[in-house]
Amino acid sequence: MTNGSEDRYTVISADCHAGADLLDYKPYLASKHHEAFDAWAATYVNPYEDLLADTADKNWNSDRRVAELEEDGIVAEVVFPNTIPPFFPSAALMAPAPTREEFEQRWAGLRAHNRWLADFCSLAPGRRAGVFQILLNDVDEAVKEIRWAHGAGLTGGLLLPGTPPGSGLPELYSQEYDAIWATCAELGIPVNHHAGSASPPLGDEPAARAVFMVETTWFSHRALWHLIFGGAFRRHPDLKLVLTEQGSGWIPGVLDMLDYYHARLVKAATKAAGPKANTAESKFGQGLAASMGKGPSEVWAENCFVGASFMRPHEVPLRERIGLDKIMWGSDYPHDEGTYPYTREGLRIAYAGLPREEVAAMVGGNAARVYGFDLDFLDPIAAKVGPTVGEIAEPLKEPPADATSPVFAPGGKVRVW
């Protein structure tokens, strides 16, 4: 099944970022927090250069954003957070879990972001799926916010915080979070886990920054095996998990590894070994088969998706092993590592020569299905601004000289796992 007009693709970015300018969050806070917000904002030093630059308004300038995305051939976007919510030391994706003393103010800050985001998405109806934020410290409060966000039209789903070592939170496999999974499954809300949201704090030494870059996607991958082995998908078979901006080339190998351990832990029988076969690892797997249900690859096939931001050329040959119905391309706008303003070139370097139906699914069709975009509404826009099938089919000979996205890195072999 294809999407778009006969000669153009309907491109939906499954990974973009937005947020309010710092002071613009204040109207979304309850009045009891205003004095504390004024004090916090007066002394806050933003740690991110891109949020201090002249281009920072890409995060909140709706008209500019629509124009630049259309210029880049993109007609709709899944909107993850980017700017600093009130009372946070850094972007919520990267901030450590709050202490008990910080919890009330941090919750107020995230709620302010969610309410701003609902208004921001309403400025471009049908073209933005906003991803809302929660904290895991209080599951009942999280469930209330999930239900509010669903009612407010934030169709991008839940942004799942990480539980990095030292956070003090139960691990994601814990059944303490079951009400969250149940509510998301009931309402058809995707659970998104974005790179960076589960890394432990490492400090600011040069080596620490290098280690962060090496490890950050691995810490994000952990949500996959935590939820699988924790049985979340057995108890809630309609739950959808999306792993975004973590690469995609790692998925086949990790699924093979998870299947191996699953088989060894649950004493999976073979015709040769028989149903009573023991393994060296089976003593660690008591009760696992009953608690988790299906094996990892089965869960992936039925419940999981990948926000494969600017898919690299070396990952594309793995698309069938990953699942052609699982891959959702993203531009990562407005980040420097994103493909803007060279999205067409980024698509060409990855997808030139592939069948039209496959490209259409990965650049838009899959995202429309997962996040509920209406292709009948988007296709006419794409017929005017979308990249043509012919231009994406043409291999890219030379990357743009000033392109900054890793998709154009020599050889394309960046962050395989």
* pTM, 2 dp: 0.94
Q: What is the pLDDT of residue 4?
A: 44
Contact in structure between 159 and 81 (CB atoms under 8 Å): yes
Q: What is the pLDDT of residue 278?
A: 76
pLDDT less than 70: residues of the chain: 1-6, 267-277, 411-417
Q: What is the pLDDT of residue 274?
A: 53
pLDDT in tens, 282-299: 878 888 988 999 999 999
Domains and CATH numbers, the chain: 11-412 (3.20.20.140)
